[in-house]
Amino acid sequence: MSRAAEQAMAASYKALKEDFVSNLTGGEIGEINYVTAVAPAAVILWSTLQARQSFFKPYTPLAFAVDFLLNVAAILVAITLYASTPLLLNVILLAPVPIIYFLPRLPPPKKAKLPPSATNKQASNEKPNPLPKKAFVTTYRGAMIVITCIAILAVDFRIFPRRFAKVENWGTSLMDVGVGSFVFSAGIVAARPILKAQLAGKKLAPLGKRLSQSLRHSLPLIVLGLIRLYSVKGLDYAEHVTEYGVHWNFFFTMGFLPPFVALFQSAFEYLPSYAGLAVALGLAYQAALEFTDLKAFVLTAPRTNLFDKNREGIFSFFGYLAIFLAGQELGLSVLPRGQGNTGGEQRKRLLLKMSAWSAGWIVLFWASTNYSYGLSLAVSRRLANLPYFLWIAAFNTTQLTAFCLVETLFMPTAHKTSATKREEEEVYKTSTSRVLEAFNRNGLAIFLVANLLTGLVNLTVSTLHVTDLQAMGILVAYAATVTGVAVGLDVYDISIKM
Convert the pLDDT of each residue in 160-193 to its tens digit: 999 999 999 999 999 999 999 999 999 999 999 9
Contact 401, 355 (CB under 8 A): yes
Question: pLDDT value at position 121?
Answer: 52
Quick one: average pLDDT of 62-79?
98
Q: What is the pLDDT of residues 302-329, one digit of tens each?
A: 999 999 999 999 999 999 999 999 999 9
pLDDT of 124 strictly over 60: no
CA dist list (Å): 38 to 84, 252, 486: 13, 31, 21
Q: 350: exposed, middle or buried (C-beta count within 10 Å: 0-12, 13-18, 19+)?
A: buried
Question: pLDDT value at position 104?
Answer: 87
Distance CA 77, CA 90 (A): 11
CA dist list (Å): 63 to 49, 67, 84, 430, 482: 10, 6, 29, 13, 18
Average pLDDT of every residue of the chain: 91
Q: What's the pLDDT band for 126 if we cut at 50, 70, 90?
A: low
Write down the pTM of the prediction: 0.94
Q: What is the pLDDT of residues 333-379, one digit of tens each?
A: 999 987 777 878 889 999 999 999 999 999 999 999 999 999 999 99
Question: pLDDT value at position 323?
Answer: 98
Q: How many CB atoms lie within 10 A of CB 481?
A: 13
| Whole-number percent of the chain with pLDDT over 70 | 93
Quick one: average pLDDT of 88-95?
98
pLDDT of 206 strictly over 80: yes
Q: What's the pLDDT band for 1 if we cut at 50, 70, 90?
A: low
Q: What is the pLDDT of residues 254-313, one digit of tens each?
A: 999 999 999 888 888 788 899 999 999 999 999 999 999 999 999 999 999 999 999 999
pLDDT of 119 strictly over 60: no
Question: pLDDT value at position 412?
Answer: 85
Q: 412: exposed, middle or buried (C-beta count within 10 Å: 0-12, 13-18, 19+)?
A: middle
Q: What's the pLDDT band for 217 if we cut at 50, 70, 90?
A: confident
| Whole-number percent of the chain with pLDDT over 90 | 76
Q: What is the pLDDT of residues 98-112, one digit of tens each?
A: 999 988 887 765 655
Q: What's the pLDDT band for 234 if we cut at 50, 70, 90?
A: confident
**Who wins on pLDDT, 204 or 146?**
146
pLDDT of 113 strictly over 60: no
pLDDT of 114 strictly over 70: no
Cα 122 to chain center, whole Å? Answer: 37
Q: What is the pLDDT of residues 408-431, one digit of tens each?
A: 999 988 877 765 788 888 999 999
